[in-house]
C-alpha cells in the first residue's frame, strides 16, 4: 500500500534529528538554530482505510491502516435517556475535544451558533460559558446551528484492485486540501427574516425542534440559501462536500453499513419528523448515535443530525447525464441541468451503475485525479445487498439527461424500506423540477 509521506531535505550540515512524538505518519521538517543549520524531522498523524475490491462476496468492511489501525469508533445506541445515563457514553477515540478527544481533525469538529444577520460565530458547544443554544434564537437574535469542520488534506484513490482513503491535517503526496467549512447541523427549514427597513425575506435556517422543509425545488432552495444580503453570511446547499463527509465517516467506522454502525435514522415512519426528534441532542451533545426507538428517531454522526433518513437531501453542483456525473466544485457556478463545458463543470469520466439495487463498489474518476472531485464516488458495480457492498440502495435512470441528485433516504418506509437508506444511498431518477415532501436540503458555508 502506498504510504502518505513527504520527501525529506536537509540543509546546512547533513544531519537529521528525529523527534519521538505521539504522532506518526506524514513527515515534516523545520529548521532549528543550534549555531548551525539542522533540520528537525517529525511525523504527523495519517488516518487511513483500504478495501480489497476483488473479494467475493465484497463485504461492507474496510481495513484501517496507518495510524488508524488501533483506534476504536463508538456510537451510542440507547433506547432511552435513562439507559444512556446508566450505561454511559461508549468509548470513542474520535471524540470531539470536550469529551477528551485528542485525535487530529476529529477533536476539532464543533457545533456553533452563527448569527443570521452577519455570519459571526457567537457561541460554541465546546465553550460551556458561551451561551450556546440549540434553538434558532439566542439573546433575542436569530442564530443558525452549524457544524464546523476544520481544514484537512484527504486523498481517495484506487490501484491494483484496492481502494484507499487517507486523511491528515498536513500535506502529503497527491492529497487535496479541503478548506474549513460549516454545514447545517440540522436539515433546513424555510424561515423569514427582516433586515433593517427591508422587506421580510425568505431564507434557509438550521436549528433544532423545527420541521425540516420539503416540497420545494432545488433552485428555490438555492435562492433561499443565498438570500442573506450580508455577503459574509450568504450560504449555499450541500454539494461535493457530502462525499468528503462520507470519507470522514469511512475513516472512522471503516464500514459502509452506517445504519448498523450508527443507527437506522428516521426511516420507518409516515411523516417528516422534527429536527432532533426525541431531543436526544441535549443528551448526546455532539456524540454519535441515537437515543430512542431505532428507525424512528434522529441519528447523529460526526456532528450532523440525520445525515441519512427523515428527508432526502439535494446535492447541488452535480448533474447526471445518461449515467455520467457532471460536477462543479464552486457554488457560484451551480446551476440546473449542467453539461460538461458549462462554466466550472466537468464530467467524472465513468458511467454510473445502470440498474436499481444495492451496489458493491463505486467508480473512480482517474481523469480528475488530484482534485476535489476524486472524493466523488457514485455506484459503478452491482452485486451488493443491505449487508454487503455499499449496503444502501441506488436508484437511477441512465437513459435520460439532467437528473438531479438526492442522497440519504427518507422517513417513508412504504416508499423505500428502512434498510434502503443510509450514508451511501443515492437517487437520481428525476429532473431539476422535482418537488416532493420526501426531499429537503442542508446549508453549507465556507469558513
Q: What pTM value is reported for the model?
A: 0.91
Lookup result for grid cell 453570511: 233
- Supply the pLDDT for residue 254: 98
Once rounded to an integer, what is the mean pLDDT over residues 255-264? 97
Percent of all residues in the chain with a pLDDT value above 70, rounded to a whole number = 87
Lookup result for grid cell 445525515: 307
Pairing outcome for strands 403-407 and 394-396: unpaired
Q: Look at 239-243, 276-280, 366-370 and tell me which has the smallest mean pLDDT.
A: 366-370
- Supply the pLDDT for residue 16: 37
Once rounded to an integer, what is the mean pLDDT over residues 198-222? 91
- Alpha-carbon span 174 to 75, nearest angstrom: 32
Say if residue 371's pLDDT is above 90.
no
Say which residues have a Cβ less than 8 Å from residue 412's Cβ, sequence separation at least 6.
Answer: 269, 270, 438
- Supply the pLDDT for residue 8: 27
Determine phi and psi for 55, rounding to 5 degrees: -65, 145
Cell of 316: 447541488
Per-residue pLDDT band for 6 (boundaries 50, 70, 90) equals very low
Q: Look at 13-17, 96-100, 279-283 and tell me which has the smallest mean pLDDT.
A: 13-17
Pairing outcome for strands 16-18 and 37-45: parallel
- Residue 151, SS3? coil
Domain boundaries, the chain: 1-44, 46-447
Once rounded to an integer, what is the mean pLDDT over residues 111-128? 96
Determine phi and psi for 275, rounding to 5 degrees: -65, 125
Helices (H) and strands (E) in the chain, counts: 5, 30
Once rounded to an integer, what is the mean pLDDT over residues 147-156? 97
- Alpha-carbon span 134 to 143, nearest angstrom: 9
Edge-to-edge, what's the strand order for the sheet holding 47-52?
Answer: 63-66, 47-52, 162-168, 152-159, 176-178
Lookup result for grid cell 460526526: 302
Once rounded to an integer, what is the mean pLDDT over residues 75-89? 95
Say if residue 331's pLDDT is above 50.
yes
Once rounded to an integer, what is the mean pLDDT over residues 171-185? 95
Once rounded to an integer, what is the mean pLDDT over residues 174-186? 96
Q: Of 162, 132, 137, 157, which Cα lies nearest the Cα of 147?
A: 132
pLDDT digits (tens, 9 = 90+) for 391-437: 999 999 999 999 999 999 999 865 556 788 999 999 999 999 999 99
Say if residue 322's pLDDT is above 80.
yes
- Alpha-carbon span 257 to 423, nearest angstrom: 8
Amino acid at each position: 500500500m502506498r504510504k502518505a509521506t513527504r520527501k525529506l531535505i536537509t540543509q546546512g550540515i547533513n544531519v537529521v534529528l528525529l523527534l519521538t512524538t505521539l504522532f506518526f505518519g506524514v513527515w515534516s521538517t523545520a529548521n532549528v538554530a543550534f549555531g548551525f543549520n539542522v533540520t528537525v524531522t517529525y511525523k504527523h498523524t495519517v488516518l487511513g482505510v483500504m478495501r480489497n475490491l476483488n473479494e467475493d462476496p465484497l463485504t461492507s468492511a474496510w481495513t484501517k491502516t496507518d495510524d488508524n489501525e488501533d483506534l476504536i469508533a463508538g456510537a451510542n445506541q440507547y433506547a432511552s435517556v435513562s439507559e444512556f445515563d446508566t450505561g454511559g457514553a461508549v468509548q470513542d477515540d474520535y471524540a470531539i475535544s470536550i469529551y477528551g478527544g485528542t485525535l487530529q481533525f476529529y477533536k476539532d469538529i464543533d457545533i456553533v451558533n452563527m448569527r443570521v444577520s452577519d455570519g459571526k460565530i457567537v457561541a460554541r458547544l465546546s465553550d460551556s460559558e458561551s451561551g450556546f443554544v440549540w434553538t434558532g434564537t439566542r439573546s433575542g437574535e436569530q442564530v443558525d446551528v452549524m457544524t464546523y469542520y476544520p481544514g484537512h488534506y484527504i486523498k481517495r484513490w484506487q490501484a491494483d484492485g484496492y481502494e484507499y482513503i487517507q486523511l491528515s491535517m498536513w500535506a502529503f503526496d497527491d492529497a487535496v486540501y479541503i478548506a474549513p467549512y460549516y454545514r447545517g447541523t440540522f436539515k433546513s427549514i424555510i424561515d423569514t427574516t427582516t433586515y433593517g427597513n427591508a422587506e421580510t425575506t425568505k431564507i434557509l435556517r438550521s436549528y433544532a425542534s423545527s420541521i425540516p422543509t420539503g416540497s420545494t425545488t432545488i433552485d428555490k432552495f438555492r435562492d433561499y440559501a443565498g438570500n442573506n444580503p450580508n455577503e459574509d453570511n450568504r450560504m449555499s446547499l450541500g454539494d461535493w462536500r457530502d462525499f468528503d463527509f462520507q470519507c470522514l465517516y469511512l475513516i472512522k467506522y471503516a464500514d459502509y453499513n452506517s445504519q448498523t454502525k450508527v443507527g437506522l435514522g428516521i426511516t420507518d415512519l409516515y411523516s417528516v419528523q422534527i429536527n432532533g426528534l426525541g431531543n436526544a441532542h441535549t443528551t448526546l451533545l455532539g456524540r454519535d448515535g441515537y437515543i430512542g426507538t431505532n428507525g424512528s428517531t434522529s441519528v447523529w454522526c460526526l456532528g450532523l443530525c440525520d445525515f441519512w433518513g427523515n428527508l432526502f437531501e439535494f446535492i447541488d453542483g452535480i448533474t447526471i447525464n445518461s449515467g455520467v456525473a457532471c460536477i462543479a466544485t464552486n457554488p457560484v457556478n451551480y446551476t440546473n441541468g449542467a453539461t460538461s463545458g458549462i462554466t466550472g463543470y466537468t464530467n467524472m469520466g465513468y458511467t454510473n451503475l445502470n440498474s436499481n439495487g444495492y451496489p458493491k463498489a463505486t467508480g473512480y474518476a482517474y481523469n480528475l485525479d488530484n482534485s476535489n472531485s476524486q472524493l466523488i464516488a457514485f455506484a459503478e458495480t452491482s452485486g451488493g445487498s443491505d449487508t454487503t457492498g455499499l449496503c444502501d440502495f441506488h436508484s437511477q435512470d441512465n437513459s435520460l439527461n439532467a437528473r438531479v441528485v438526492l442522497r440519504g433516504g427518507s422517513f417513508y418506509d412504504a416508499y423505500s424500506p428502512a434498510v434502503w437508506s443510509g450514508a451511501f444511498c443515492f437517487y437520481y431518477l428525476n429532473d431539476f423540477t422535482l418537488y416532493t415532501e420526501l426531499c429537503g436540503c442542508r446549508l453549507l458555508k465556507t469558513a
